[in-house]
Structure 1
Amino acid sequence: MPSHYIDDRHTHPWHQIIFPLTGLLQSEFTPPEIEKEKDNEDRRVIVPHNAMLFIPANTAHKSVAVTDTQFLAVYLNPAGVVTYPTQPKSCRVTPFIKELILLLFDENPHYQAENILTGLLTVLSDQIDIATTYEIPLLIPSDRRLQSIFTQLQKQPDLKLSLAEWATKAGASERTLSRLCAKEFHQSFALWRQNIRLVLSLRLLDSGRSIQEIALESGYTSDSAYIHAFKGIFGLTPSRYRRDHLSPRADD
């Protein structure tokens, strides 16, 4: 999916796992109990390299590529011998789960044998059950004024404009921008901007840049400030994230 591509709202008769290899997605879905109530309260999640989204069969969902994204889609038969959860779940992907998913795509006949494949799928189901739920702050707004700010920060995340300056550029008051952020993201404008910088920095980690270079390009004054903020969202340092979830690189 190229950046900004929209995989519009749809359903599948099979369960689905979305697992990004590069880039990241913002997905939204309607949990089954809400679908029955016709409440339209969709849930939205960010799915980066070290996460996967499990979507039960017949669950309406939609995805938007935040950046250029490649992902694996695993389709699981709900009528098969292995049972899966009934609720959508955004999960943290451990190195073990990553290797398990990659084995499902291995063309070696050994792994495609029915008894071996059933064993792998049983372990996968168990891992989804016990995996830590991954809640990364949302990025993409629906309001056009916030959208214009998001687009500019995508291109230049190190822009150091105050809330007043952003308000002028967006054609809104400071109070309006603050209110919109609270409504859409349940957080302040400053925190939303920080989350944009941190999540977008994931694509820089998949390059040869040092952590210090990435910190500066993401709008941080030091690598220590960037590392502290990054760990607050992703639960591990940028170097550990790069080592566990991206292509092997030289030491920083």
Structure 2
Amino acid sequence: MPLYHHLRTDVKVAENSFHQHDDKVQLVYIHSGCCIISSRSDSTLAVNGQLLWIPAGVEHRLEVLKSTTFSVLFSAPNELPMFSNNMCGLTVNGLFVSLMEYINEIELTEVDDIPAHYLAVLKDQISQLSIKEQGYKATGEIDRRLLPVIQSLTLKPDIKLSLEDFTESCGASTRTLNRMFQKCFEQPFRSLRLQIVMEKALQLNRQGIPHTEVALELGYNSLSAFSTVFNKYLRDKKI
């Protein structure tokens, strides 16, 4: 089968049961927002600019948070490298992100809408990707009370976003919410917030957006403050 693409936007999807695709591999790219991909043992957040690999024959369940825009790509297993026998994140580069942004901007919802030369380049770029360390994996299911926070943070990443903004809607104190993040993701909210903000910065940077605009969009008061954190993130992640 050829590379098949489907663009979905402004939908909320929650699959009730686990399923698998025995004859095809699946990739999920997040343009904006967040998807939660669950296996029998854990759950993984896929956020802005991230790409997830789901191999053939692996049980999974997909939940898409409200207002998320994402692309789903399918391919025969022999058409792409076997990155892993398990679900995992994949690296993306500037050309891949630019191609996905082009698809999103002009709303190419089906593979037949994508010019053949773009499709060939997209497939070639996917073949050159590698496994990426995934920092948003939770043991078991993610506590539903955290979803309003995750949705707000991934739809509009902001370094100033505070748990205090969600105590009423989540029905829990700031301290309780932070404990829940620590329990689910083995890291406090501040750490997860920084990673999601930096992943958005990476996505915008790969789209060629000037750093000054990126810094302002992500809630930083100055370019120097943003640059210091962003450059450290790149060094730590060896990007």
TM range (shorter): 0.5 to 0.7
Aligned residue pairs total: 209
- Contact 2:137/2:185 (CA < 8 Å) preserved in 1? yes
Shift of 1:157: 4.6
Q: Is the 8 A contact 1:158 1:219 kept in 2?
A: yes
Pick closer, same or farther for the CA change 1:223–1:138 going to 2, 3 Å. Answer: farther
Rounded Cα–Cα distance in structure 2 between residues aligned with 1:45 and 1:216: 25
> 3-state SS of the aligned residue for 1:10?
coil
Aligned to 1:10: 19
Letter in 2 for 1:14: D
CA distance in 2, matches of 1:202, 1:81: 28
Q: d(CA) in 2 for partners of 1:191 and 1:152?
A: 16
User: More strand by proportion, 1 or 2?
Assistant: 2
Q: CA deviation at 1:230?
A: 3.8
Equivalent position of 2:51 in the other structure: 52
What pairs with 1:30-69 in structure 2 (closer than 5 Å)?
Answer: 30=39, 40-46=40-46, 48-49=48-49, 51-65=50-64, 68-69=68-69
The reply to whether residue 221 of structure 1 matches residue 221 of structure 2 is yes
| Alignment-mate amino acid for residue 42 of structure 2 | D
State the Cα deviation string for residues 35-90 of structure 1 (Å, max 9, x = none).
xxxxx3124142643x533222121223344554242513214xx59873433332
Instruction: Quote the residue 2:107 is aligned against.
Output: none
CA distance in 2, matches of 1:81, 1:207: 27
Contact preservation (8 Å) 2:27, 2:53: yes
SS in 1 for 2:37: strand
Please list, as runs of the form range in 1=range in 2, the aligned pairs for 1:61-100 lying within 5 A after superposition.
61-65=60-64, 68-77=68-77, 84=82, 85-94=84-93
The 2-side partners of 1:204 and 1:96 are apart by: 12
Q: Provide the secondary structure at the position in 2 that maps to 1:60.
A: coil
The structure-2 alpha-carbon separation of the partners of 1:57 and 1:7, relative to structure 1 and needing over 3 Å to count, comes to: farther
Matched letter for residue 74 of structure 2: V
Match of 2:31 among 8, 11, 22: 22
The 3-state SS of whatever aligns with 1:5 is strand
Q: Give the gaps of 5 or more residues in structure 1.
A: 31-39, 112-116, 242-252
Question: Equivalent residues in 2 for 1:1-252 (5 A)?
Answer: 1-3=8-10, 5-6=12-13, 8=15, 9-20=18-29, 22-23=31-32, 25-30=34-39, 40-46=40-46, 48-49=48-49, 51-65=50-64, 68-77=68-77, 84=82, 85-94=84-93, 107=116, 124=127, 127=128, 131-137=130-136, 142-153=142-153, 157-158=157-158, 160=160, 166-167=166-167, 170-200=170-200, 210-231=210-231
Residue type at the aligned position of 2:25: Q
What SS does the aligned partner of 1:63 have? strand
The answer as to whether partners of 1:17 and 1:54 remain within 8 angstroms in 2 is yes
Structure 2 gaps, min length 5? 1-7, 104-113
User: What is the CA–CA distance in structure 2 between the aligned matches of 1:150 and 1:82, rounded to whole Å?
Assistant: 32
Q: 1:133 to 1:21 in 2, by over 3 A?
A: closer
Question: Distance in 1 between the 2:179 and 2:205 partners?
Answer: 33
- 1:184 aligns to what SS in structure 2? helix
Distance 1:177 1:68, change over 3 A: closer
User: Residue 179 of structure 1 aligns to a residue in which SS?
Assistant: helix
Percent pairwise identity: 24
- Please provide the CA RMSD for this pair: 4.7
CA gap 1:152/1:29 in 2 versus in 1, 3 angstroms: closer
C-alpha distance in 1 between matches for 2:56 and 2:218? 38
Q: Alpha-carbon deviation of 1:234? A: 6.0
Residues 201-221 of structure 1: per-residue CA shift (max 9 Å, x gap) = 567668896422332232222
SS at match of 2:132: coil
Structure with larger Rg? 1
Task: Look up the SS of the partner of 2:27 in the other structure.
Answer: strand
The one-letter amino acid paired with 2:31 is T
Per the alignment, in what secondary structure is the counterpart of residue 54 of structure 1?
strand
